[in-house]
Amino acid sequence: MAPGQKMFDFEAALRHVARQTVLCVGDLMLDDFVYGEVTRISPEAPTPVLKVTHNSVEIGGAGNVARNIAALGAKCIFVGLVGDDAAAATLRESLGGLPAIAPELVADKKRPTTRKVRYVSEHHSAHLLRADWESAEPASAESEAAIIARAEAAMPKAGAVVLSDYAKGTLTERVIRAIIERARALHKPVIVDPKHHDYRVYRGATLITPNARELAAAVHRPVASDAEIAAAAAELARMIGSEAVLVTRSEQGMSLHVEGQAPIHIEAYPVKVRDVSGAGDTVAAVMAMLLATKTPYESAMRAANAAAAVVVGKRGTATVSLGELRHRILPAASLAPEDKIVFDWSVLDERLADWRRHGLRIGFTNGCFDLLHRGHIRLLAEARAACDVLVVGLNSDASTARLKGKGRPINPAEGRADVLAALEAVDLVVIFEEDTPLELIKRVRPIVLVKGADYRLADVVGRREVEAGGGDVILVDLVEGQSTTGLVQRSAKSAETPAPPKRSTKPART
């Protein structure tokens, strides 16, 4: 940070995200992930046999940019091209289930909807094979006109524009030029995730986000070192007249060139990578939303780097929630609490499955944990002693307010989760929105359910479900005089009691 430069307020910027609308135009596709285990080689050919356990069908390509925008709480107007087939019907239905996305899909009966099927070995976290159904032919003149018309009609409502180019024919030169020129006339930032063979077609874009390999191909020079990356990014910026170039470098992090500024290189977050599919979409989505809020380039890049770290830790074409992004960006005591807090329940499912594969006894308890006290510590310690791994369900801010009344919670969910995650007894913290943890308990399926002894056994939420699964319910004795409500009341009473008058230290006058 330059001397005298003011620290950027990420919390304030993230609060503004929900008020943003982003226009995304690009290649829509259907991503199908088929998961299973490989235990043998086929007798028919020297290829592995995947014993399929499940599959996941998701909106991919440029549609994943739209999904990330929606997951972060903003609105997205999405313009894309599909065929007239089953994959298009699935995409329309899926997009229709996401109220934050307004789809404007142009149908061309003469071309297939792009579909990609990936076969993944769960045990090795490896992609074995990908099968594609697609046509990379440029969109017809009629489709081009329809895409341009829909994009131009939506543009006045948007704070930023994303061109998500997968080289599948939607973003032809005519479409790209029309959208960039219209956006420049309206003073809208244009973010390009490029795939075109000639990057000069993107001239006038505000920001372009190639990976290192794409950058090298665009400027025909090596990009192995930081210095080479910086020089190539500057050359690309001059070539297309862009304000900035953001280079994504996988495990080496990101590099940023901004006109008139020194290059900036940041490292990637240390995370366990499960799947890199769609990470570039997440970067484009975060950059677009934050540039729409006038966030400086460097700060937006740091947020995008954090978001990418979240999604590569998930399977499939994943998204990042605002809570996950906030928790990754804002200061944390250590990486251990960071790894323990779960906002996305699909991550919870993966963690639980891993524990079960290792034969671990999963325990569960829950609460608001607004002001952590000795009673909470005893509850958590005894809960952990009864199992191998302990999941703690934490009431969200809205849920806590409904249960505890006006003025609660005292601490927001992110702060309460950080404190819990810092405790050795806690293995995972999961925030839930409901008034009771019943749905979360059904998801976790613990072998041990622990509550305080102020509950009657018959009144414990989830008791029947746990006992039906062969588990136990344990009631832990309370610590007398320890409760958050009591602490709040005593604090308020103390604040209302006037302090005794100070005794004068001056000698009395005679």
Bridge partners of residue 23, in order along the sequence:
77, 161
Residue 339 has a pLDDT of 76
Kind and range of the H or E run holding 464 = helix 463-468
Kind and range of the H or E run holding 254 = strand 254-258
Q: What is the DSSP string of 330-372?
A: S--S-HHHHHHEESSHHHHHHHHHHHHHTTPPEEEEEE--SS-
Collect all residues with Cβ–Cβ distance below 8 Å to 130 and sequence separation of at least 6: 116, 117, 118, 119
Distance of CA 299 to the CA centre of its chain: 17
Lowest-pLDDT range of 209-223, 284-298, 325-339: 325-339
* Topology alike, domains 15-41+48-330 and 342-493: no
Residue 16 has a pLDDT of 82
- Length, in residues, of the chain: 510
Mean pLDDT score of the chain, rounded to an integer? 88
Residue 489 has pLDDT above 90, yes or no: no
In this structure, are residues 426 and 419 in contact, taking their beta carbons and an 8 Å threshold?
A: no
Calpha distance 278→472 (Å, rounded): 42
Calpha distance 260→244 (Å, rounded): 10
In this structure, are residues 104 and 78 in contact, taking their beta carbons and an 8 Å threshold?
A: yes
Residue 4 has pLDDT above 50, yes or no: no
Q: At what angle do helices 279-292 and 297-311 cross, to 10 degrees?
A: 150
Comparing CA positions, the residue from 199, 201, 267 lying closest to residue 233 is: 199
CATH code of the region 342-493: 3.40.50.620
In the block, tokens 């409502």 appear at: 157
Lowest-pLDDT range of 10-24, 251-265, 293-307: 10-24
Per-residue pLDDT tens over the stretch 378-399: 899 999 998 999 999 999 999 9
Calpha distance 73→215 (Å, rounded): 31
Kind and range of the H or E run holding 266 = strand 264-266
Bridge partners of residue 389, in order along the sequence:
362
Collect all residues with Cβ–Cβ distance below 8 Å to 414 and sequence separation of at least 6: 323, 326, 327, 330
Half-sphere exposure of 455 (CA within 13 A, CB side): 19
Residue 125 has a pLDDT of 67
Looking at the annotation, which residues are catalytic? Answer: 281
For residue 128, which amino acid is it?
L
Residue 324 has a pLDDT of 83
Identify which has the larger pLDDT, 485 or 144.
144
DSSP at 458: G
For residue 373, which amino acid is it?
H
This prediction's pTM: 0.68
**Residue 17 pLDDT level (bands cut at 50, 70, 90):** confident
Q: What is the largest CA-CA distance in the chain?
A: 114
Residue 406 has a pLDDT of 84
Domain map of the chain by residue range? 15-41+48-330, 342-493
Comparing CA positions, the residue from 484, 305, 462 lying closest to residue 379 is: 484
Identify which has the larger pLDDT, 302 or 322.
302
DSSP at 108: -
Task: Determine the topology of domain 15-41+48-330 in CATH.
Answer: UDP-N-acetylmuramoyl-L-alanine:D-glutamate ligase (3.40.1190)
Instruction: Please give the backbone phi and psi of residue 229, each rounded to the nearest 5 degrees, phi first.
Output: -60, -45
Calpha distance 199→337 (Å, rounded): 43
